[in-house]
Homo-oligomer: A and B are copies of this chain.
Amino acid sequence: MIDKTTIAATNEAAEARLRADYDALAEQLDRRGIDITAVKDKVAGYGIAVPSWGVGTGGTRFARFPGQGEPASIFDKLDDCGVIHQLTGATPRVSLHIPWDDADPADLNAKAEELGLGFDAMNSNTFSDAQGQAHSYKFGSLSHTRKEVRDQAVEHNLYCMELGKKIGSTALTVWIGDGSNFPGQVNMTRQFERYLDSTKAIYAKLPEDWRLFTEHKIFEPAFYSTVVQDWGTNYLIAKELGERAFCLVDLGHHAPSVNIEMIVARLIQFGKLGGFHFNDSKYGDDDLDTGSVDPYRLFLVFNELVNAADTPGFDPAHMLDQSHNVTDPIESLMNSAMEVQRAYAQALIVDRPALSGYQDENDALMASETLKRAFRTDVTPILQMARFEKGCAIDPLATYREAGYRAKVAEARPASTSGGGGIV
């Protein structure tokens, strides 16, 4: 964890400037009929989950270039996640990936308690082979042609739920790499039937208070077709499985130019939006930092969420899911959590009655401008004040760098080796 005096010192240096900016913004928002305190309180209460794998340095199929002080175990990863939450106050939960993060649940709980963290959805990785695994997932897992492979994948999911129950998780996220690399390689119908059979077997064991999230993705690691390729198939799955099955939307898992907030709106309308994997992208599933490429797209998603906030039972899960290849993962995750908060705050200050009126009158320009006006508002002071009042860092990046955390763990942790990627 970061030394509290470092936080206090960096905050002290920034406080006066923050108060000036916050007051100016408060006055401006007041003129627009918006109570800044209400917005700040909602932002302060917002939390997003961090994926355990995200605190390591990612890579591509060509190479992985390790960073300094990479976490060597799930407990190291939790330490890093603890720092992120300590400074931002925005990431109270960690989402584990099994088998990568498999450990004694008592140890996991103890560590999480120490860090003030909880556990979010469990992720059952069957897109790669673990050492000693009886059957390979080379040709699929839950939808494999052979029953013994499917059974093994189902068992692994049940195991994830068992572990999750012991650490306070209440959701299972299923993303698989099954699909095909050639036209004709699979019978798409039979493959999907097998997938449904497997997920039904998992769903049958889903604890009563849990939700099952299935995640679609248009391609990769399967390059010709994936068994859950888009939200249409994802919706069919959630319907087939039952009331506690929902669709997870990863912002990078769509065909080029697809309107993502519309998918969000449809899934909300039909009661099947389970949650998000936030990240950003330019070309495909680039797994770039959330909000770094197209911040307006992120805002438009939050606009749909705020719009639907009063829907009874509406409670989508929010998780980051991004790969950090060239940055310090802790910095990227802090920054991304703040970007999500920013989009949320901007969506909160949309003048919804005005928007609704313009929509009814087909005043396209003013409807567009109503969204743009909220998006243009620099809500940074709101985010900073929310953090400051919680004892977190006004400027988490500056405080983190000031604290020298990375250098310290680099001394304590073994150096990670360069990876060759999958291509050779």
Chain A residues within 8 Å of B, Cβ to Cβ: 17, 20-21, 24, 27-28, 31, 53, 56, 58-65, 100, 127-129, 131, 136-139, 145, 177, 180-190, 192-193, 218-221, 223-225, 229-233, 235-236, 254-259, 261-263, 265-266, 268-270, 281-284, 286-289, 292-297, 300, 303-304, 307-308, 323, 325-328, 331-332, 335, 355-356, 358-362, 364-372, 375-378, 380, 397, 418-424
Contact = CB atoms under 8 A, between A and B. Distances in A.
A289 B368 contact: yes
A129 B65 contact: yes
B129 A62 contact: no
Nearest to A284: B284
Nearest to A140: B362
A300 B257 contact: no
A140 to B, nearest CB: 8
Given A270-B236, A283-B223, A369 B59 contact: no
Contacts of A356: 187
A129 B371 contact: no
A307 to B, nearest CB: 8
Output the residue of A182, A224, A332 with the most chain B CB within 10 A. A182
A213 to B, nearest CB: 17
Contacts of A256: 255-257
Copy number in the complex reads 4
B62 A184 contact: no
Given A183-B300, A283-B257, A223 B365 contact: no
A107 B25 CA distance: 51
A361 to B, nearest CB: 8
Given A127-B62, A232-B232, A232-B263, A224 B181 contact: no
Contact of A185 (B27, B223, B270, B364): B364
Given A376-B378, A424-B58, A259 B282 contact: yes
Contact of A62 (B28, B128, B282, B367): B128
B184 A371 contact: yes
Output the residue of A145, A218, A259 with the most chain B CB within 10 A. A259
Contacts of A259: 224-225, 229, 282
B423 A288 contact: no
Contacts of A371: 183-184
A331 B229 CA distance: 28
A132 B8 CA distance: 43
B31 A184 contact: no
A64 to B, nearest CB: 4
Given A266-B192, A368-B183, A422 B64 contact: yes
Contact of A323 (B59, B100, B303, B423): B423
A326 B185 contact: yes
B232 A181 contact: no
Output the residue of A184, A187, A220 with the most chain B CB within 10 A. A184
B186 A359 contact: yes
17 contacts: A58-B61, A58-B422, A100-B424, A128-B418, A128-B420, A129-B418, A131-B418, A145-B362, A182-B289, A182-B367, A183-B371, A188-B265, A218-B283, A236-B270, A323-B423, A376-B378, A422-B422
Nearest to A283: B219
Nearest to A17: B31
Contact of A355 (B184, B225, B358): B184
B266 A236 contact: yes
A328 B365 contact: yes
Contact of A233 (B258, B266, B326, B360): B266
B220 A365 contact: no
A368 B184 contact: yes
A421 B258 CA distance: 25
A111 to B, nearest CB: 20
A229 B56 CA distance: 28
Contacts of A368: 182-185, 289, 292
